[in-house]
Amino acid sequence: MKRSIFVAAILCVACGAHRQARGLDDVTTTSAVIRAQAPTATLEAPAILDVYEGPTAIATPITSSTMDDVRIALDVGHATSATESRAELALRYVADGRVRDFAQLVHDRAHEAKLQMSLVSVMPDAAEPPASLQKLAGQSQVDFDRGYVALETRALGQLIQRIDALAPQATASELRRRLLDLRPQLVDLWTRADDLQQTLVNAP
């Protein structure tokens, strides 16, 4: 009788341990399923970083592009080519050192952006600077500095709006990522231009 009770007790302990182990397995399995179903990170514009001060990263071609992607790249390429041309003209005529530094930064970032878009579509030839800016080149340097910064502020704002409209339409994730990488760079330039414009307006 005592032996039967002893055997029964052992069986109960073993059964309880089996249920406990199985319960742990269930939790582990459930946790694994939950982790697998965790939502992926949403696409967000990265923090504003001046990545162009260091060595330029080697760009890799985008292999899965459609005609929409080509159109988007060409659209942004046109805008960045125009930005680069305005900066090149500005570097020839600006007088204020702060405006010169700004124009150089604009030129470098526009050139890099055009390089990135050239991996999707053939880029247009260099754009001509607007006639209004060319006309200012023959006037006083102060007027040119103010005119260039004011023009660039408006143009950068328009390009940011274009990217906001075009990025969701990109079918290649790599193209979308590069557009999102470009946006904070443009926002940074627009902020610099707006601050510089206020400084120049208040200057004697």
Better-predicted residue by pLDDT, 126 or 102? 102
The residue with greater pLDDT, 158 or 139, is: 158
Burial (0-12, 13-18, 19+ Cβ within 10 Å), 13: exposed
Rounded to 5 degrees, φ, ψ at 170 are -70, 130
pLDDT of 67 higher than 90 = no
Query: How would residue 149 be classed by pLDDT, with cut points 50, 70 and 90?
Result: very high
**What would the mean pLDDT of 22-36 be, rounded to a whole number?**
35
Tens-place pLDDT, residues 126-141: 778 888 888 888 778 8
pTM for this prediction: 0.65
Evaluate if residue 1 carries a pLDDT over 70.
Answer: no
pLDDT tens digit sequence for 36-60: 333 333 333 333 222 223 233 344 4
What average pLDDT does the structure give for the chain?
73
Higher pLDDT, 31 or 201: 201
Q: Which two tokens stand for residue 86?
A: 């305005």
Tell me what pLDDT residue 128 has.
80
Supply the pLDDT for residue 147: 93
C-alpha–C-alpha distance, residues 184 and 112, integer Å: 14
- Per the CB < 8 A criterion, the answer to whether 65 and 172 are in contact is yes
Average pLDDT over residues 86-106: 95
pLDDT at position 5? 44
| pLDDT higher than threshold 60 for residue 97 | yes
Higher pLDDT, 172 or 105: 105
Say yes or no to pLDDT of 69 above 80. Answer: yes
